[in-house]
Amino acid sequence: ETGVTQSPTHLIKTRGQQVTLRCSSQSGHNTVSWYQQALGQGPQFIFQYYREEENGRGNFPPRFSGLQFPNYSSELNVNALELNDSALYLCASSTKKGENEAFFGQGTRLTVV
């Protein structure tokens, strides 16, 4: 157990829909990063939130957006879902903008049909 919880665990959506994924960070952690892990690939960095502000973004289009709340929990929103958005979405929490060890949740498996 890492103390990082994600919900839901599985989700099926239709192309064009919107989805919101949620993450509760480990107690004492003020930094949340989101990753997309396609089947057979390593996780790819989407973006990071530090104290409610976006603190870095990977190579993902603007339809991927996020939010961090005062309790440091976070949401990942994806608009206009495409088939290739099907993946495992991982949340990782850490301190000091990710310079220390990141603790991962179990992920949300998103399937877009």
Partner 1 sequence: AQSVSQHNHHVILSEAASLELGCNYSYGGTVNLFWYVQYPGQHLQLLLKYFSGDPLVKGIKGFEAEFIKSKFSFNLRKPSVQWSDTAEYFCAVIPPYNQGGKLIFGQGTELSVKP
8, 14, 28, 50, 53 from 19: Cα distances, Å: 11, 10, 27, 22, 21
Is position 9 an interface residue for partner 1 (rule: CB under 8 A)? Answer: no
Judged by CB under 8 A, the stretch of 20-28, 63-71, 76-84, 105-113 that binds partner 1 is 105-113
Residue 110's DSSP bridge partners are: 11, 87
Pairing of strands 53-57, 64-68: unpaired
| Residue showing tokens 């993946």 | 87
Collapsing DSSP to helix, strand or coil, 28 comes out as coil
Q: Which of 78, 87, 102, 110 binds partner 1 (CB under 8 A)?
A: 102
Q: What mask of x and - would describe binding to partner 1 in positions 37 to 76, judged by CB under 8 A? A: ---xxxxxx-xx-x----xxxx------------------
Q: Which of 105, 108, 110, 112 binds partner 1 (CB under 8 A)?
A: 105
Is position 108 an interface residue for partner 1 (rule: CB under 8 A)? Answer: no
Residue 89's DSSP bridge partners are: 36, 108
Q: Which residues bind partner 1 (CB under 8 A)?
A: 2, 4, 31, 33, 35, 40-45, 47-48, 50, 55-58, 90, 92, 94, 96-99, 101-107
